[in-house]
Structure 1
Amino acid sequence: MVFLTEEKIQKILSKARHLLQQSAVIVKDLASFIGSIINAFYAVLEAPLHYRQLERDKIYGLGPDLNFQNKVQLSEASRPELTWWCDNIVVKNGKAIRPRKVQFHCRTDSSLLGWGCVDVVSDRSAHGRWSIDESKYHIIFLELLAIYFALQSLYCNCTDTHIEFQCDNITAVKYVNDMGGMTSKSLDTLSAKLWQWCLKRGIFISTKHIAGKENVTSDFYSRNFSDSTEWMLMSEIFRRLRKQFFVPDIDLFASRLNKQIDRFASWFPEPGAFFNDAFSCSWQSFLPYIFPPFNLLSKVINKIVEDKVEKAIVILPYWKSQPWFPLLLPNMADFPVRLPGHKDLLTMAHDGTPHPLVKSINMVGVMLSGNPSTSGKFHQELLKSFYSHGDQELGNNMGWPGNDDASIHAKPKAFAKIMCPHPSPGDG
């Protein structure tokens, strides 16, 4: 380990406090402080992250005549850098002569469509599309963002380690290794964000450049996607369903682009995911929102029952001929709601493409429960609503018999009453 001397620490503290007390500072004094910070790089690992806003103020203050006697107003972004040095110079003093040995090697790549990464040793991978806003950035920014997403996807549970990233973009490599840069403010900001994420976990990262021809796997992942799981319910409809039923605490079949709730389970490793593969975890402690691929609905309903989920909002098509359809009614805990037939009811999150079947299918939002007492209470209230005074009380026969088109065996009109008792959330 190498350290700053006490004399150098006090010198930095004195200069930082002096600058903070001024409403406008002399450029010469600001340059002197920046010089002290650069000289501290060898002993303070995070030093490069906390001076570039001050450097920008210095350049602005110099003006066209490059006069160090000019005065400059410190920007709102630079004052926190001065404060950081006052608060952290003592506790952050000390840097290893050389970083620990690399434990993970990861290759990343970006295209204008998306990002991809693969761990060289384990072959674990992650990838995804860019959002509409992200796709507008320059490719260099996207290359750096791919490294950030790779960290969050493959190494989110790592601590106290060294990860080497291999990238085919020289600028992205330099911005990571230098902890930022002066040429591009957006790249500098993203680099700082990336490094702050790592430092909180004791992770040291380094990057090296590789030829594009060596980065074939990551390049493939950045350009090839399976969009069949990326459909998203219109956000306004989701908000109204939440008001109609309850506020869910997790989105179980989602991605970072189509999630309706901040806490979500993704199909594969992905930035921000609470966990991966919804079926690999018990749902008992959750109150989930579930919009799964239609071919998984039988498995989803059975999982709700097996895990005794108290209540779940499930989005599904009104397909009476499907084998999962008879499983719905015994586990309903409230009246279902018919969703409006808007053309953008179901869309691709990354580009807004509407679902090809949206005009030909009727979508329904239902609240299911794997707790027999919860669903049973609703069914008792349901039975009472289906007979008048003097009628014989109906038995508890609520299954769909064979190929009979009657929705509830007890009364011909019962299904219409159950499926459409309320206006659609989008009707008005």
Structure 2
Amino acid sequence: MSLSHEAQTEIKWWQENINIKNGKDIRPSKVSCYLETDASKSGWGATFGGVETGAVHVLGKLNITADYMSRHFSDSTEWKLHEKVFAKICHLYYEPDIDLFATRLNKQVLSYVSWFPEPDAVASDAFSISWSDFNPYIFPPFSMISRVLQKIQDDQVRTAILIVPMWATQPWFPHLLDLLISVPKMLPNIQNLLRLVHNNQLHPINKNIFLVVCTVSGITSKKSGFQNTLLNSYENLGEIQHQNNMILFGTSGLFGVINGKSIPVTHLKVKF
């Protein structure tokens, strides 16, 4: 039996990586060096050979998806945005050079970062790499949106296409408004907007949550440039805010207010 070059490459990758992720030596190797660290109430870390390590704790209730996925992997997390919707987004904005939260099944871009190590992925765990050199496509788990926005700001990402739910009451929403560099667009509320690639199962989210596409940036000049194009808001402090269903009809409405400026929202028009 002969194996194709692709199959041989895949097997070689597993041989090199399976011990790293799952394997354990029968006889532990001899210790080559010792590393001692101090305890601290504010955090911990270490330095050895010019390499620094550190850790950040995220509460389980704020990191539900990642916490669960680390213990219960399931392909039911591999939801994919409708290809025509994604193509329209790229035509409207730009072609992203990497998909930061994907798998080989639901990737929208050739280069992608996976949850766990995969042969075709350029890396695993998007938060472990710098985003500063990319113009990425980002469709993260909803529980990670706050971390994603902070990462975009910290890494000074020039431009990113971000898919998020229209949840104006969430703590991360003001941060999203501050990072916008163009008017957000509501995605079509179609039944098959999200599906599993391997069995075409549809996502129940389509029934009660609206998704929006936003272009965001961590560059201050780009954010302020967009805000300078906006009209002044006439919303008064303490005034009853419009409910979400008041902005979902017609072609435009109010998405939010930032620095006294009104940010409109329009609909993404896609031919199916």
TM-score, normalised via structure 1 length: 0.43
Shift of 1:287: 0.4
How many pairs were matched up? 203
Cross-structure match for 2:135 = 287
1:302 and 1:154, CA in 2 relative to 1: closer, same or farther beyond 3 A? Answer: farther
1:318 and 1:288, CA in 2 relative to 1: closer, same or farther beyond 3 A? Answer: same
Counting only pairs closer than 5 Å after superposition, residues 2-401 of structure 1 correspond to structure 2 as 149=10, 151-152=12-13, 155=16, 225-227=73-75, 229-382=77-230, 386=231, 394=232
Matched, 1:419 2:255: no
* C-alpha contact 1:153 1:270 (8 A) present in aligned 2: no
Shift of 1:283: 0.3
Structure having the higher helix fraction is 1
Matched, 1:405 2:241: yes
Residues of 2 paired with 1:231 and 1:351: CA distance? 11
* C-alpha contact 1:250 1:286 (8 A) present in aligned 2: yes
Residues of 1 paired with 2:155 and 2:268: CA distance? 30
1:381 is paired with a residue of what secondary structure?
A: coil
1:242 is paired with a residue of what secondary structure?
A: helix
| Code of the aligned partner of 1:310 | R
Residues of 2 paired with 1:250 and 1:354: CA distance? 25
Shift of 1:151: 3.4
Unmatched tracts of structure 2, length 5 or more: 18-71, 243-255
Shift of 1:425: 3.4
Residues of 1 paired with 2:186 and 2:134: CA distance? 24
1:153 and 1:317, CA in 2 relative to 1: closer, same or farther beyond 3 A? Answer: farther
1:239 is paired with a residue of what secondary structure?
A: helix
Aligned-residue CA RMSD in angstroms?
Answer: 3.1
Identity %, equivalent residues: 39
1:346 and 1:153, CA in 2 relative to 1: closer, same or farther beyond 3 A? Answer: farther
Deviation sequence 1:365-402 (CA, Å, 0-9, x none): 000000111111111112xxx2xxxxxxx49x99x978
Shift of 1:324: 1.1
Shift of 1:240: 0.6
Shift of 1:250: 0.1
* C-alpha contact 2:146 2:172 (8 A) present in aligned 1: yes
Shift of 1:152: 3.3
* C-alpha contact 1:306 1:370 (8 A) present in aligned 2: yes
Shift of 1:225: 3.8
Shift of 1:249: 0.2
Unmatched tracts of structure 1, length 5 or more: 1-47, 53-143, 157-223, 387-393
Residues of 1 paired with 2:207 and 2:199: CA distance? 19
| Code of the aligned partner of 1:264 | Y
Shift of 1:424: 1.7
Shift of 1:271: 2.3
* C-alpha contact 2:113 2:125 (8 A) present in aligned 1: yes
1:155 is paired with a residue of what secondary structure?
A: helix
Residues of 2 paired with 1:154 and 1:324: CA distance? 42
User: Which structure has the greater CA radius of gyration?
Assistant: 1
Deviation sequence 1:307-344 (CA, Å, 0-9, x none): 00000001111011111111111110111111001111
Deviation sequence 1:166-187 (CA, Å, 0-9, x none): xxxxxxxxxxxxxxxxxxxxxx
Greater relative contact order (Cα < 8 A, sep 6+): 2
Residues of 2 paired with 1:401 and 1:309: CA distance? 32
Cross-structure match for 1:115 = none
TM-score, normalised via structure 2 length: 0.66
Residues of 2 paired with 1:279 and 1:347: CA distance? 25
1:270 and 1:425, CA in 2 relative to 1: closer, same or farther beyond 3 A? Answer: farther
Residues of 2 paired with 1:372 and 1:311: CA distance? 12
* C-alpha contact 2:76 2:196 (8 A) present in aligned 1: no
Cross-structure match for 1:6 = none
Shift of 1:419: 1.2
| Code of the aligned partner of 1:262 | L
Shift of 1:263: 0.3
Residues of 2 paired with 1:152 and 1:356: CA distance? 36
